[in-house]
Amino acid sequence: MTTSALVTPDGVEIMVLGTLASGHRPLSAQVCSACGYTELYAAQWTEEIQQARETAVLEAEPIAVASAEPAL
């Protein structure tokens, strides 16, 4: 499979609208030449990936659960 950008008949690259902060991104496609299966991809900027990795993960404190057995 090869990946290529999607363009209009006029040769203008087709873009995907992201969030307000990320702006437009090019849309690309992979097409199987044997069967015609098509996958579409939109780029993700590496800054967003790095930011997601650096985001703190909140973990809950373990909760003490009273035992169901009576104390001796």
The answer to whether position 71 is within a domain reads: no
Domain enclosing residue 29, as ranges: 2-46
Long-range contacts from 2-5, C-beta under 8 angstroms, 24+ separation: 2/30, 2/31, 3/28, 3/29, 3/30, 3/41, 4/28, 4/29
Residue 60 lies inside a defined structural domain of this protein: no
Residue 18 confidence (pLDDT): 62
Mean pLDDT (whole number) for 46-68? 61
Q: Which long-range contacts (CB under 8 A, 24 or more apart) does 61-69 make?
A: none
pTM: 0.37
Look at the chain and report how many structural domains it folds into: 1
Mean pLDDT, rounded, of the chain: 69
What is the percentage of the chain residues whose pLDDT exceeds 90? 0
